[in-house]
Amino acid sequence: MCRPTAGWALENAVMKAMRAGKTILLGLMLSVFLLPRVAAAAETMNVVLDQAMLMKLPDKVSTIVVGNPMIADIAIQSGGLVVVTGKGFGSTNLIALDRAGTVLLERSIVVSGPQGRDTVQVYRGVQRETYSCTPNCERRITLGDSADYFATAIGQSDTRNGAASSGGAAAAKAPAR
């Protein structure tokens, strides 16, 4: 029968300590690589198409740049607030600078389509129609809808808005009796 010697026990303890050290080192390395990504994820603003979100600006901002205003648009409000509105699908960025050109804030903006139980999309082959169902389903003009559906809905909306702004003068007159 072979009994372990004191040297063997010491060697075993050294090996365990080395494994523990490697595990700690691996954990530290992973945290160094993953923390910047977590911080970057916090710098992304998700906006729904045709909806707005508020964002607080840092002090002393003198210039604001939006990478692609066709994706997201901004309106500056008092008190250092900015209203960010989703205009088109995709991603862009917003940069806030001070008078010296120093970057005070940089944020990614991702605009996605409406999601949830209140929006229904109907596909007829490759043609798409979007409805807002809150609580009754009505046509909703959304980027990506088929051209005929989009043109019909926008035409009806323009006619209605024209009649409303002119006090009904633009609406069709009823025939005389």
Instruction: Please work out, in degrees rounded to the nearest 5, the angle formed at the alpha carbon of residue 112 by the alpha carbons of 85 and 82.
Output: 20
Instruction: Tell me the residue ranges of DSSP E strands in the chain.
Output: 44-48, 52-56, 63-66, 72-77, 81-86, 90-97, 103-112, 119-124, 127-133, 137-139
CB-facing half-sphere around the CA of 88: CA atoms within 13 A: 8
Which pLDDT does position 41 carry in this prediction? 40
Write out the residue limits of the CATH 2.60.40.1080 domain(s) in the chain: 44-112
Tell me how long the chain is: 177
Within a 10 A sphere around the Cβ of 82, how many other Cβ atoms?
19
Q: Structure pTM?
A: 0.59
Fold that domain 44-112 belongs to in CATH: Immunoglobulin-like (2.60.40)
Q: Give, for all 177 residues of the chain, the pLDDT tens digit.
A: 555 555 666 666 666 766 666 666 556 565 555 554 434 444 899 999 889 999 999 999 999 999 999 999 999 999 999 999 999 999 999 999 999 999 999 999 999 987 777 888 899 999 999 888 888 888 888 888 899 988 888 888 889 888 887 766 544 554 454
Which pLDDT does position 12 carry in this prediction? 67
In contact, 70 and 7? CB cutoff 8 Å: no
